[in-house]
């Protein structure tokens, strides 16, 4: 397993980590197989979505924050229930194919780290399963 840290800067943000993951694939010489991306945090997540238009992540955050507002009738004593809910909806892992030492993503796709309780230093775990 490989991992890297990411520093988030806002309470909620989507950070494109595609290039960081691609760098690990190149460095490790992972040719062909399955890559599992796992976020070991209960208030963060990972998703795959459009990375070509930078307004898409902003639109996603705007809508998710309206759907699950920061203030509400939450019981969790830490006060970050909205972050837990958002993380559960997005999910803590993604699986991506690797072919010829490259991520097999669609033309417009990127991999995004989803911060819902920042700013924090977070971890991204990668597990490669070779063909």
pLDDT tens digits for 39-59?
999 999 999 999 999 999 999
Question: Is 74 part of any domain?
Answer: no
pTM: 0.96
Question: Is 103 part of any domain?
Answer: yes
Q: Rounded to 10 degrees, what is the CA torsion of 72, 76, 79, 80?
A: -90
Q: Are 39 and 45 in contact (CB under 8 A)?
A: yes
Contacts of 24 (CB under 8 A, 6+ apart): 2, 4, 30, 126
Question: Is 33 part of any domain?
Answer: yes
| Predicted pLDDT at 75 | 87
Question: Is 34 part of any domain?
Answer: yes
Number of domains, the chain: 1
As a whole number of angstroms, the distance between CA 88 and CA 84 comes to 6
Residue 99 lies in domain: 2-69+80-130
Q: Are 96 and 35 in contact (CB under 8 A)?
A: yes
**Model confidence at 107, in pLDDT bands (50, 70, 90)?**
very high
Question: Is 75 part of any domain?
Answer: no
As a whole number of angstroms, the distance between CA 44 and CA 122 comes to 8
Count of helix runs (H) and strand runs (E) in the chain:
3, 8
Question: Is 44 part of any domain?
Answer: yes
In this structure, what CATH number is given to the domain that contains residue 86?
A: 2.60.120.460
Question: Is 98 part of any domain?
Answer: yes
Residue 77 has pLDDT above 80, yes or no: no
99 vs 78, higher pLDDT: 99
């Amino acid at each position: 397993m490989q991992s890297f840290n990411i520093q988030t800067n806002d309470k909620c943000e989507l950070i494109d980590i595609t290039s960081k993951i691609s760098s690990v694939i190149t460095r490790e010489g992972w040719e062909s197989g399955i890559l599992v991306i796992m976020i070991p945090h209960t208030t963060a997540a990972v998703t795959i979505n459009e990375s070509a238009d930078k307004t898409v992540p902003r639109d996603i955050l705007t809508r998710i924050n309206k759907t699950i507002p920061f203030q509400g009738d939450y019981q969790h004593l830490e006060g970050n229930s909205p972050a837990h809910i958002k993380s559960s909806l997005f999910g803590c892992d993604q699986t991506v194919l690797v072919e010829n030492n490259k991520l097999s993503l669609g033309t417009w796709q990127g991999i995004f780290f989803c911060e819902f309780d920042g700013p924090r230093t977070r971890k991204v775990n990668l597990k490669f399963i070779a063909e």
